[in-house]
Amino acid sequence: MHTDDIKKIEGKVLGQRISHPEKYDPTILVAVPRKPNRDIYNISSPADIFIGIDTWHAFELSFLTNNGLPVAGVAKITYDCNTPNLVESKSLKLYLNSFNMTRLGNSAKEGIDIIKSTIVADLTKTVGGDVNIEIFISDDSTDIEYHNFQVIENQNNIDNIIFDAFEESPELLEILKKEENSEHLLMSNVLRSNCKITHQPDWGTVFIRYSGLKEVSQESLLKYLVSFRNENHFHEEVCEMIFKRLYDKLTPDDLMVTCVFTRRGGIDICPSRSTRKDWMFRNLTDCKVLTSKLLRQ
């Protein structure tokens, strides 16, 4: 697909003055093909190197029952990373807003059942694959399993490191060879990239877990993550770029990269890519579990 065609798709609502819809409108949803960006990073057969889940939290979902009672909650939406398309975030926000004055069901429970089935049908058509959704109307969240991860910017010599690359620079990654297999659990709160169309900043926490005979130096990894600061990409693309660079450099036995991005416009997007399912955070990728917010959310 030509670059101009991609921008036309991506820019259907991004950067445009769009009035908030006053009634349910599934035509607002915009599908963005995954393939063009994957081709740039030589991810020709993604299913051969990773599995993954795209997790979305919509914190401002609301509708009315038939008697006008407002129902509000948090929607957690998940779908496989290898659907042909992802859904563009502003279009999803406007689509979900289109339910705000829509009357659904004679009770909150009945309305929730209706809105869940409606959203699943519409998003399944948009992304081209199965979609899961759960709606939470009470705060029964569970902490994400991140406590064993080492924060790489907490290293002792941080004040002596020079950061001067602010466009994605995989050549910064320094790889060390080891005599024995080792496993590493690392995280950073300094991830920042920008929206592909509006160039508005997106802040995130990144989790990286890998094992094998090679190790990436933490200083070089931090420099690499900082180099995303002026990159303009969708959240899912950033996660896959980090995964593929580390996959190529480390040739690991196993690798997991999860990016938990800050809530913007009432929605956060949290993509996970991994060579093994049990390394992905269960509480994040399980649609039926409400994830507790992290620092960057």
Q: Is residue 279 a contact partner of residue 292, using CB atoms and an 8 Å limit?
A: no
Write the CB contacts of 135 (distance below 8 Å, at least 6 apart in sequence): 61, 73, 74, 75, 76, 112, 115, 116
Instruction: Provide the 10 A C-beta neighbour count for residue 49.
Output: 16
Kindly name the residue from 81, 122, 195, 268 that is annotated as catalytic.
195
Is 239 in the active site? no
Q: Is residue 93 a contact partner of residue 267, using CB atoms and an 8 Å limit?
A: yes
Instruction: Provide the 10 A C-beta neighbour count for residue 281.
Output: 22
Q: For the CA atoms of 77, 267, 260, 248, what is the dihedral angle to 10 degrees?
A: 70
Among residues 248, 241, 251, 247, which one has the least CA distance to residue 178? Answer: 251
Q: For the CA atoms of 147, 282, 269, 228, what is the dihedral angle to 10 degrees?
A: 50
Q: Is residue 96 a contact partner of residue 17, using CB atoms and an 8 Å limit?
A: no
What is the C-alpha end-to-end distance of the chain, expressed in Å? 34
Q: Is residue 25 a contact partner of residue 96, using CB atoms and an 8 Å limit?
A: no
- The DSSP 8-state label assigned to residue 185 in this structure reads E
Is 195 in the active site? yes
Kindly name the residue from 202, 259, 270, 286 that is annotated as catalytic.
202
Residues labelled as active-site residues = 195, 202
